[in-house]
A and B are shown apart, each in its own frame.
Chain A
């Protein structure tokens, strides 16, 4: 039995669309609520990021609770950077108890790229071990082998980097994540669909569902900045060049067009099982991207 609506959708064979929101730095959740309201009926699930880029924020589990309260389908992002195995297991139990069963298991960015550079990096577990830990909890035991009172079930996901410049080690890790229990993957940002096709030739031998990561770029400058400063992001020169043709102030519209075009192609050519849209601060553009991509109909 599926542990969530999202898992049902994953197994339905239909094109799956997820997106993500970053919680606020502070206690004012009004904008996050606005974004959740805007997105919850237009996508199949909403990821809530876990101190993305190692920047301290309102917690992902708090954001997921809000998504749930507002009638949306949350995906809890969990990184291993800030919590040891006791805290990670506890958070998984908390999430399950509140109906949050979709979990994206990540290693997490280095503390050094964030805004608390002097913090202790934990990494007691890595992403593969975190997946394994969630599977262990599903057996009714904790990592110490002790019985749980009340047993969770999850829909487990992980990340993969199909455009890594050295792909083989990433594929080895992908295999390990599938074996450890990952049912779905939300990829790092895809900028070259040929790279996605190559990856799918490999990944399609596994049962896991692949959602291609689509990052909405707001300008050529942003793309270059991300290439230099954001771990794992490799924006192709073709995308940078296309963004650079935008008139002044129209960069985001160009980024929306590129994202929509890629989503349309992925969907029409059935390149993978769905997409995961990362709008990085421009969450309000997600509905228009989905309309332009033909995924949802344009309101009359």
Chain B
């Protein structure tokens, strides 16, 4: 899933300042699960903005709230036509894809991001999410025992650990596991250390000619630049 964090309130207040009428728009998919922009967060943010503005004495804004099931899918955005008709801006609590899907669907509408989209990951425990996939377009997990060196190693290197790891932790943080130590231990456990002994050539960054496109339609070419 996509994981995001809500922007801090001061930044949100600055973003919405020029726009009197605002729709706060949540997303019912990833943003709901990661607690950054679901229905509940839309409501909390609405209250927080009102409290902050009443304290500052400039409560000139009016707000509406809504949470769409999937903000990144144009199909779900058609139903918003009436809701955005009379607003000056949408404060989107969708991920970066949701914000852009809204901007594409409504060319004349100001869409503001209310969250910082962070990564693709999974929950470690309640309230903590960890990054797991860098969407590099060239999956190596078969060679690395199901642990991604691009994501789990801070340097994203392919041929084993750097010399910075101490006690199984990364040189960047004593709280962060060294991805290559994890890979080594799991390969050893699976009796597949020969996979680590192989030379892996430099990554092919042509697999990520941004922006990317994936097509499953017959006769269409994959990859390439798409605006």
Contact of B202 among A121, A125, A165, A168 (CB under 8 A): A125
Number of A positions contacting B (CB below 8 A): 38
A160 in contact (CB, < 8 A): yes
Number of B positions contacting A (CB below 8 A): 31
Minimum CB–CB distance from A206 to chain B (whole Å) comes to 14
A164 in contact (CB, < 8 A): yes
A172 touches B160 (CB 8 A): yes
Contact of A110 among B154, B167, B200 (CB under 8 A): B154
B134 in contact (CB, < 8 A): no
- Which B165-210 residues sit within 8 Å CB-CB of chain A? 165-168, 170-172, 180-181, 184, 188, 193, 196-197, 199-203, 205
The closest CB in chain B to the CB of A165 belongs to: B167
The closest CB in chain B to the CB of A233 belongs to: B166
The closest CB in chain A to the CB of B194 belongs to: A172
Contact of A169 among B161, B170, B199 (CB under 8 A): B161
B159 touches A179 (CB 8 A): no
B164 in contact (CB, < 8 A): yes
Contact of B159 among A112, A164, A173, A232 (CB under 8 A): A173
Minimum CB–CB distance from B156 to chain A (whole Å) comes to 6
- Which A117-132 residues sit within 8 Å CB-CB of chain B? 121, 123-129, 132
A129 CA to B200 CA in the complex, in Å? 8
B180 touches A175 (CB 8 A): no
A133 CA to B201 CA in the complex, in Å? 10
A175 CA to B159 CA in the complex, in Å? 11
B162 in contact (CB, < 8 A): yes
B157 touches A123 (CB 8 A): yes
The closest CB in chain A to the CB of B180 belongs to: A169
A132 touches B163 (CB 8 A): no
B158 in contact (CB, < 8 A): yes
A110 touches B160 (CB 8 A): no
B163 touches A164 (CB 8 A): yes
A109 in contact (CB, < 8 A): yes
Minimum CB–CB distance from B73 to chain A (whole Å) comes to 32
A172 touches B193 (CB 8 A): yes
A164 CA to B156 CA in the complex, in Å? 20
Minimum CB–CB distance from B43 to chain A (whole Å) comes to 34
Contact of A123 among B155, B171, B188 (CB under 8 A): B155
- Which A135-176 residues sit within 8 Å CB-CB of chain B? 143, 159-161, 164-166, 168-170, 172-173, 175-176
- Given A164-B165, A168-B184, A232-B166, A121-B172 contact (CB < 8 Å): no
Binding site for A on B (CB under 8 A): 154-168, 170-172, 180-181, 184, 188, 193, 196-197, 199-203, 205
Return 18 A-B CB contacts under 8 Å, by A number: A85-B202, A110-B155, A112-B154, A113-B171, A121-B154, A126-B159, A128-B160, A129-B158, A165-B166, A165-B167, A166-B181, A169-B181, A170-B160, A173-B160, A173-B161, A176-B199, A232-B164, A232-B171
13 extra A-B contacts, CB within 8 A, seeds A166-B181, A175-B197, A232-B166: A110-B164, A110-B170, A126-B157, A129-B158, A129-B200, A129-B201, A143-B202, A159-B163, A170-B160, A170-B163, A172-B196, A232-B163, A232-B165
The 8 A-B residue pairs with the shortest CB-CB distance, nearest first, are A231-B164, A231-B171, A126-B157, A173-B160, A161-B163, A232-B163, A128-B159, A169-B184
